[in-house]
């Protein structure tokens, strides 16, 4: 049988090797100085926009740019990318982020800094979810990325994901008793 995976949603994944203890410490220190903001977060703390001059993140930001270029080239998109914005997220027990996209961004992404077990998967929503829900609901034998309305990915420390800014996603509630820490970002063409 030949199946053509037409109109797939590309997601880039890469495991990195940064010293997470020092980054976690800096994130927690920052959360005590910055009152943060509310965007898609329900509970939790989201930092104000960070600057590429924040030295504790400079090597990580360089890696994100390099990975985004690799992703763009791999899917045939212009690769002269720059960081548009980035911020820290700290979700405590039951904190989550509701479905959202990142308008005006070519790519968006997340880097996992601290991910206790059951601290909230990232969930992506298929762009054709209304059709899948309407026409296929109740007729799917085995859920997989080709037939699902949504797809969860469990966060793993030191893992980077980059995806189209238009891909709707949410973060499920943190059901652990420990903080979940991540860095989110947006990239645009220069």
Give the other-Cβ count within 10 Å of 58's Cβ.
Answer: 11
Residue 142 inside a domain? The answer is yes
**Residue-wise pLDDT tens digits, 62-97:** 999 999 999 999 999 999 999 999 999 999 999 999
Residue 29 inside a domain? The answer is yes
Residues 6+ positions from 71 with CB-CB distance below 8 Å:
10, 12, 107, 162
pTM: 0.95
**Residue-wise pLDDT tens digits, 154-165:** 999 999 999 999
Residue 128 inside a domain? The answer is yes
Number of domains into which the chain is organized: 1
Residue 126 inside a domain? The answer is yes
Q: Residue 79 sits in which domain range?
A: 13-189
With cut-offs at 50, 70 and 90, classify the pLDDT of residue 18: very high
- Upper half-sphere CA count for residue 25 (Cβ side, 13 Å): 5
What CATH code is carried by the domain that includes residue 47?
2.60.120.620
Residue 3 inside a domain? The answer is no
For residue 77, give both structure tokens.
Answer: 């998109």
Residue 8 inside a domain? The answer is no
With cut-offs at 50, 70 and 90, classify the pLDDT of residue 122: very high
Residue 132 inside a domain? The answer is yes
């Amino acid at each position: 049988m030949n199946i053509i995976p037409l109109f797939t949603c590309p997601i880039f994944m890469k495991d990195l090797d940064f010293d997470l203890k020092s980054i976690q410490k800096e994130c927690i220190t920052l959360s005590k100085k910055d009152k943060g903001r509310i965007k898609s977060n329900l509970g939790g703390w989201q930092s104000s926009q960070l600057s590429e001059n924040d030295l504790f993140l400079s090597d990580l930001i360089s890696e994100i740019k390099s990975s985004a270029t690799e992703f763009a080239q791999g899917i045939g998109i212009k690769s002269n990318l720059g960081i548009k914005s980035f911020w820290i997220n700290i979700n405590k027990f039951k904190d989550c982020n509701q479905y959202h996209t990142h308008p005006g961004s070519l790519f968006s992404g997340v880097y996992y800094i601290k991910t206790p077990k059951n601290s909230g998967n990232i969930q992506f929503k298929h762009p054709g979810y209304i059709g899948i829900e309407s026409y296929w609901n109740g007729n799917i034998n085995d859920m997989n990325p080709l037939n699902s309305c949504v797809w969860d990915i469990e966060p793993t420390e030191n893992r980077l994901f980059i995806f189209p800014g238009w891909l709707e996603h949410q973060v499920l509630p943190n059901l652990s008793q420990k903080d979940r820490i991540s860095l989110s970002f947006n990239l645009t063409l220069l």
